[in-house]
Structures are given as structure tokens and as C-alpha cells.
């Protein structure tokens, strides 16, 4: 999958510029002949900046950035190596990339991919010393797979002996951790993170807050003592991380245990038994039309934690209550458990029920589904299988990390090699039905956020833009497509301000085009 930054590097290449400069809440600019040349596009939001550099730095570099407020970055795009610096200045991100000269006899260095959705404040993973610096995959949350890098052998430090019975103090602290999990589940928290030597953190309203007393490694081990089998324990010792499921009297969690600098940590996500309704999420009723297509591809995009999976769960539950369909879900992990009503729903979890998204998609075509929910389109193989499923008469619902419809189209196409891109454009133009981009905007209540969205529907004009490589015109099509049911992000934000759900200042900070928001007001 192409990095998010690649869509801007394409412009750099087309303009024959030397470098690219990005900053939170600023218009991007190109470096040409030593001068900064602003691009004709909206300002880059702080959240979008996070998406741009999530593909550029490793977990170790992220810690360096947090500590020193600056880190060197490297990236390769279409054979050209770029190097530069990412800084945090006054709470804002600033990224500069310039073309790097490659010494004779050497090739461009390959960037180390990472996943910025990993657990916050993740300390570095220590790789064995080798002639070339190669990092092992960074441990990830339960909802994310390991990075697809070749396995790297690293010495496995001793993690407490899980075969021993926990002592009385460890059991007491484990009971404290169970109480934190129960409270988090009841309060509707998104994540819970335990880290040796630190107080538990609970994510609600997008922010982490401390609850309870510091956890110990023995307490975390005691919490999972009856959950992990011999194979999982061996995997934790050998690789430094392992997925698990935890059930506390009917309250279920998906967890990832991982080894880090201070000791053992665990990231847990509640598994909900009841999917929310669109009304509960603050989304309009006309979203139900997105699952009314007989076939095709409907995408939900946006930054991590913007509620994409929750909206998809609400739409699947709408199908479940109103239509007699067969729904197959492919998830990593399962976050909402559905009870079949009018529809028959089969949920498959990657790593437990099926090896990968792509394999699950291919198998689903023989399982007679009407609707396929694909947790995420992560790689060209999965994207290709999703397009095939949509072409062959199935409605495919999925997510993609992109800051808008135009970027989503570019990321899909750029994930394929040059000779494949024409065919992918044709497939996408023929199968894509809609792209919805979501962002969460702070409300007056610190623990609550409102959903703002951009909705693009694929009309004949938009299909032609995709087919002919005119993706830069999609934003204009959305702005002028209200009669077709399209909604720009700024129009959605304006509606939230008028309804007094969010402040004008909060809406302005979330807008990609503040001037358009003022016009919408």
C-alpha cells in the first residue's frame, strides 16, 4: 500500500521541485530553487499531518520525536529517495522532505514502515546488532496485525514465568485491573492500556486518562494466567507479543500483550454485544442508502479512531433488522458481536477463523453472501479481491486510512504497479458506489465528540474522473454535488455548528478548507 505522503510527492515530481514542506494548519509548499512555492490546495489539518508521517517513522523514532521534538526521516517513492526532518513545534507538526542524492554503487534505502495506531508511548524494540540497521516489527494493538516485514531474530528477554501460580499481591492487583476493565466497558471506553510501573490508561473521547494504581508485570500476568495457552505463552516469549481474548463475567475484550522497555504491557479493546444505531452516532438516516446497493464497493475513510468501524457496525445492524440477507464479516479483531435477526450473520476473525483478509475474501465468494464486511483494505491482494467481489454481484463494505475521497482513490490505485493501474482504475470506476470520510470533533463536554463527515457518491461524472485519472477534480464534484446527495466536510461541520453541537472554533480546526466552512455558514 502506498504511503499517504506519496500523493503529494507525485505533485512534487510533476512540478520538478526539490522538496516538500508540510505543517499543521498550513498550506503545503514545494521547495524550488531555494524558494517556498505554496500549492493551490487547502491547509493540512493536524490530524492529516499525523496520517502523512505514520508511514514514515518507526516506533523507536516516534519515541525519539516525543523526547527530542525532532527526528530524521527517510522515504522512497518511485525509486527516488527523500530525506528530511519531522519536528514538533508549539504542538504542531512540521515535516520537510528533500530529494536525497544516492552515492554511486548504492541503492536508495528502504524506509522502515510502522503503524502510528500502535499503543501510545510505545518504547523502542531492541533489534539484534547487524551490519545494516534492520528493525523488527513494532508490537501493535489487538486491532492491528504485525507489519509485513521479514521476520527478524531478536533475543527474547525473560518475561515472568506464567506457569507459576501468582502470589497474593499479584492476585490483588489483578483484581484491581479487572475493576478498571469493568468500569471502562460500562463507560463505553474505546481502549484500556496496562503498562508495568504505570497507572492504567483508559481512552474515552479520544484522550487517555489515568485510572487506578500502577500495574505490575506480575499483576498483568495474573490477569491473563488462565487465558493464555502453552502456544500463546511460547509466542509471547519468542516474539514479544501475542493476541488473546479475555472474558470477565460476560464482558469481553480483545487484547494484545507485548514486551517493552519497562516490562510487560497489554492493550485491550472491549467487544460490544450491541451495535449502535445511526441516530445514536449522530449520523443522518440517509446513510442507510449506503447499504441499499445490490452490489459494489462502499468505503469509509478517516484517521484512526474516527469511528469508521462503529459506523459500519451500525449499518450492518440496520441490514440485520430490515432485510433478509446473508452477511459475512472479516474482522481483525471482532469489535461488535451481532445476533442474527432477519439477516444471517457470520463473523470471521483474521488469525483465528481465517489466515488473512485476502484469503477470507476469496473463500467468502463460495459462501453465498449478499453483503461482505471487510475490516480494512490493507494491501493490493486484499484490494484486488475486494474489487473482484464487488464486480461479481456482492456489496462490499470496508475501511481505508485516507483523509478524503480523492486521497482514498489515489491510495488504492497507487498500491499497484504501473502496468496494473489502468485496469484498477477501470475496476474502481465500475464498482465504487460511495466514499464516506469521518472526523470526530470535540464538543463542549470533554468526554464527547461529534461526527462530521464527507460523503461522495459515484455519479457518472465521478466515475469518469476516476477512470481517466482526474482524481484532483473529485473535491469539486463533492462541493457541487448536493443535488446528488453529496456532502462536503465543511457543509457537515457547518450543520454541527448551527445545531450548537460544536463550537465554530472546533469546526474551523477540523475543516480542510476554513474559507469553504465560512461560506457554508
Rounded CA Rg of the chain: 23
Query: Which of 163-177, 370-384, 399-413 has the weakest average pLDDT?
Result: 163-177
Residue 412 to residues 49, 301, 379, 415, 460, Cα–Cα distance (Å): 20, 12, 9, 5, 20
Mean pLDDT of 100-104: 57
Contact assessment for residue 515 and residue 505, using Cβ atoms and an 8 Å cutoff: no
For residue 185, what pLDDT is reported? 85
Query: Which of 145-159, 214-228, 350-364 has the weakest average pLDDT?
Result: 145-159
Contact assessment for residue 22 and residue 48, using Cβ atoms and an 8 Å cutoff: no
Mean pLDDT of 102-109: 45
Contact assessment for residue 130 and residue 157, using Cβ atoms and an 8 Å cutoff: no
* Distance between CA atoms of residues 18 and 198, nearest Å: 45
Residue 300 to residues 319, 387, 402, 409, 509, Cα–Cα distance (Å): 17, 15, 9, 12, 21
For residue 248, what pLDDT is reported? 87
**Model confidence at 139: pLDDT above 50:** no
**Model confidence at 55: pLDDT above 60:** yes
For residue 444, what pLDDT is reported? 80
Query: CB-based burial of residue 162 (10 Å sphere; 0-12 exposed, 13-18 middle, 19+ buried)?
Result: middle
Cα 392 to the chain's mean position, in Å? Answer: 27
Query: How many of the other CB atoms lie within 10 Å of CB of 38?
Result: 11
Record the pTM. Answer: 0.64
CB < 8 Å & 24+ apart, contacts of 442-445: 442/205, 442/206, 442/502, 442/506, 443/501, 443/502, 443/506, 444/503, 445/205
**What mean pLDDT value characterizes the chain?**
83
* Distance between CA atoms of residues 487 and 482, nearest Å: 6
Interior/surface letters 406-442, b for 16+ CB within 10 angstroms, e for the rest? bbbbbbbbbbbeeeeeeebbebbbbbbbbbbbbbbbb
Instruction: Place 101 in a pLDDT band, splitting at 50, 70 and 90.
Output: low
**9 Cβ contact partners less than 8 Å away, ≥ 6 residues apart:** 20, 75, 77, 82, 97
pLDDT tens per residue across span 442-482: 888 766 889 999 999 999 999 999 999 999 999 999 999 99
Query: Which of 30-34, 84-88, 498-502 has the weakest average pLDDT?
Result: 30-34
Pairing between strand 207-210 and 241-248? unpaired
For residue 12, what pLDDT is reported? 75
pLDDT tens per residue across span 3-29: 567 767 777 776 778 888 888 878 788
Instruction: Place 153 in a pLDDT band, splitting at 50, 70 and 90.
Output: very low
Query: Which of 106-120, 172-186, 303-317, 486-500 has the weakest average pLDDT?
Result: 106-120
Compare 101 and 486 and report the one with higher pLDDT: 486
Where are the extended beta strands (E) located within 70-113? 70-77, 80-89, 92-99
For residue 158, what pLDDT is reported? 42
Amino acid at each position: 500500500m502506498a504511503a499517504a505522503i506519496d500523493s503529494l510527492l507525485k505533485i512534487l515530481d510533476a512540478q520538478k521541485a526539490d522538496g516538500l514542506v508540510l505543517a499543521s494548519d498550513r498550506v503545503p509548499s514545494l521547495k524550488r530553487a531555494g524558494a517556498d512555492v505554496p500549492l493551490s490546495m487547502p491547509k493540512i489539518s493536524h490530524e492529516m499531518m499525523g496520517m502523512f508521517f505514520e508511514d514514515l517513522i518507526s516506533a523507536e523514532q516516534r519515541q525519539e520525536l516525543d523526547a527530542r521534538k525532532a527526528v530524521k526521516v527517510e522515504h522512497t517513492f518511485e525509486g527516488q529517495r527523500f530525506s528530511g526532518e519531522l519536528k514538533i513545534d508549539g504542538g504542531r507538526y512540521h515535516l520537510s522532505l528533500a530529494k536525497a542524492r544516492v552515492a554511486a554503487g548504492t541503492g536508495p534505502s528502504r524506509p522502515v514502515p510502522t503503524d502510528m495506531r500502535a499503543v501510545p508511548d510505545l518504547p523502542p524494540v531492541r533489534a539484534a546488532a547487524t551490519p545494516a540497521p534492520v528493525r523488527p516489527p513494532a508490537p501493535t494493538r489487538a486491532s492491528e496485525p504485525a507489519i509485513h516485514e521479514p521476520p527478524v531474530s531478536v533475543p527474547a528477554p525473560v518475561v515472568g514465568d506464567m506457569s507459576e501460580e501468582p502470589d497474593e499481591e499479584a492476585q490483588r492487583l489483578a483484581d484491581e485491573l479487572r475493576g478498571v476493565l469493568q468500569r471502562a466497558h460500562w463507560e463505553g471506553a474505546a481502549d484500556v492500556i496496562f503498562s508495568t510501573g504505570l497507572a492504567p490508561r483508559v481512552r474515552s473521547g479520544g484522550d487517555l486518562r489515568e485510572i487506578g494504581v500502577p500495574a505490575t508485570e506480575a499483576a498483568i500476568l495474573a490477569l491473563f494466567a488462565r487465558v493464555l495457552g502453552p502456544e500463546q505463552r511460547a509466542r509471547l516469549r519468542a516474539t514479544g507479543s501475542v493476541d488473546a481474548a479475555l472474558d470477565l463475567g460476560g464482558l469481553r475484550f480483545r487484547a494484545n500483550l507485548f514486551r517493552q522497555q519497562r516490562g510487560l504491557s497489554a492493550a485491550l479493546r472491549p467487544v460490544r454485544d450491541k451495535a449502535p444505531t445511526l441516530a445514536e452516532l449522530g449520523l443522518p438516516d440517509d446513510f442507510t442508502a449506503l447499504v441499499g446497493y445490490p452490489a459494489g464497493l462502499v468505503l469509509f475513510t478517516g484517521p484512526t479512531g474516527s469511528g469508521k468501524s462503529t459506523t459500519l457496525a451500525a449499518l450492518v445492524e440496520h441490514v440485520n433488522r430490515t432485510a433478509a440477507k446473508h452477511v459475512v464479516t472479516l474482522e481483525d479483531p471482532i469489535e461488535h458481536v451481532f445476533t442474527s435477526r432477519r439477516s444471517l450473520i457470520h463473523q470471521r476473525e483474521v488469525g483465528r477463523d481465517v489466515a488473512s483478509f485476502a484469503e477470507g475474501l476469496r473463500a467468502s465468494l463460495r459462501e453465498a453472501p449478499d453483503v461482505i464486511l471487510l475490516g480494512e483494505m490493507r494491501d493490493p491482494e486484499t484490494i484486488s479481491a475486494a474489487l473482484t467481489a464487488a464486480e461479481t454481484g456482492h456489496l462490499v463494505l470496508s475501511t481505508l486510512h485516507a483523509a478524503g475521497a480523492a486521497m482514498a482513490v489515489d491510495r488504492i490505485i497507487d498500491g499497484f504497479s504501473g502496468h496494473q493501474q489502468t485496469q484498477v482504475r477501470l475496476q474502481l470506476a465500475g464498482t465504487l458506489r460511495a466514499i464516506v470520510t469521518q472526523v470526530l470533533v470535540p464538543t463542549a463536554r470533554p468526554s464527547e465528540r461529534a461526527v462530521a463527515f464527507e460523503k461522495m457518491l459515484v455519479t457518472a461524472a465521478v466515475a469518469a474522473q476516476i477512470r481517466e485519472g482526474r482524481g484532483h477534480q473529485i473535491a469539486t464534484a463533492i462541493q457541487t454535488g448536493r443535488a446528488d446527495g453529496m456532502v462536503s466536510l465543511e457543509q457537515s461541520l457547518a450543520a454541527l455548528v448551527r445545531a450548537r453541537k460544536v463550537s465554530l472554533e472546533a469546526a474551523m480546526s477540523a475543516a480542510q478548507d476554513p474559507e469553504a466552512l465560512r461560506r457554508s455558514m
